[in-house]
Amino acid sequence: MRDSTPGQLSLFADAAGVDPAEITAATRGLAAALPATIRLGTSSWSFPGWTGIVYATHNGRPATEQDLARHGLRAYAAHPLLRTVSLDRTFYAPLTAVEFTRYAGEVPPDFRFVVKAPAAFTDPVIRRPGSGEPARDNPSFLDAAAAAVAFVRPAASGLGAKAGPLVFQFPPLGRRLLADVPQLIARLGAFAAALPRIAMLAFEVRDPELAVPDFAAAIGAAGVVPCLAVHARMPPVAEQAAAFGLDRADSPWPVIARWNLHAGHDYAGAKARYAPFDRLVDEDQPTRAALAGLAMGAAAAGRETFITINNKAEGSAPLSVVALAARIATLDVRTPSGEHPGPLLDRGRIPSSS
């Protein structure tokens, strides 16, 4: 679920007109101190409430949602802590390789996109427009051949080196499929095995019944990474990480997490409480601590981390990124070479103020 899909639909008009906000020395120092393997970002980028945080004013006023959707990605990617973004519009309709290439042209070489697969391949039902209620069975559910043609190949070829995880997000799958969890896990494993291995692939589930070691083993055998769904429906992130083995020092997988929704809220309620997304409202310290530990543990083992955050997690996704980065920087770990750097903040590597 994205914050504003319509905002992502209008792409690449002729005039630019969106500039990045001024970044403090403290934030730049924090970004410079984080391990390069840790990429943090948000879900989409087209939010006028981020003016002064990510974007400068435009002609003396905040840029509109449409302006940001068309022209904001370059300014977003100029923020030193925003080194990835979740491209969510693809959940609703696929993009062509040309469209992916145009996105890639807006960001620097070390930027990576997290891209959601179309629901056409992850939702077992076709839903009625507006209400989202199931209308009929979805004939393309778990159709790996169609997913490869419509999504995996265009994303991988269009984004090239800037492709991060391609995430197949499975919505709640319903009582019929969950009546036989082992069979469902086997089907998901077979789907994973049939997808082409030309990009990093990840599966994210929204049913607690699937947050189990057997699910991780089934898709992991096919080279697909379990993605942590930080969501009100799901167990806490630390429990998911333990079930998937992502908290182990010998885990072979990158850490991929999508921090979607604060516990105790639905999307509509969170949007009403948090809009215009310009401040942290409900800070979630346990989730922040768990994600920071996973990220730094992965960095110590030389593994990558991709964490994208929704406005509905704490109130303002870019401010959540800054807070998470600061939490990561307090951790004390050993690097793969055995060096013991100590907490980054304690070593004076991060300015304490601007």
CA distance 291 to 195: 28
What is residue 16's predicted lDDT score, i.e. its pLDDT? 54
Do residues 305 and 38 touch, judged by C-beta distance below 8 A? yes
Look at residue 7 in the predicted model and tell me its pLDDT.
39
pLDDT computed for residue 99 by the predictor: 97
Residue for token pair 């970004």:
31
| pLDDT of the residue at 58 | 74
pLDDT, residue 216, reads: 98
pLDDT for res 352: 31
Residues 6+ positions from 15 with CB-CB distance below 8 Å:
71
- The domain locations on the chain are 36-347
Q: What is the pTM of this model?
A: 0.90
In order of 186, 259, 269, the CA distances from 251 in angstroms are 22, 21, 37
**pLDDT at position 26:** 94
Q: Spell 76-107 as b/e; 16+ CB within 10 A means b.
A: bbbbbbbbbbbbbbbbeebbeeebbbebbebb
E strand map for the chain: 38-43, 82-87, 112-116, 125-127, 134-137, 163-170, 201-205, 225-226, 228-230, 255-259, 305-309
Question: Under a CB-based contact definition with an 8 Å cutoff, are residues 39 and 304 in contact?
Answer: yes
**What's the fold here for domain 36-347?**
TIM Barrel (3.20.20)
Look at residue 332 in the predicted model and tell me its pLDDT.
67
Q: For 89, which DSSP code?
A: G
Per-block average pLDDT, block size 10, for the chain (354 residues)? 37 61 95 96 97 90 92 97 96 96 97 98 93 91 98 98 98 97 98 97 98 98 97 95 95 96 90 96 97 96 97 98 96 52 34 30
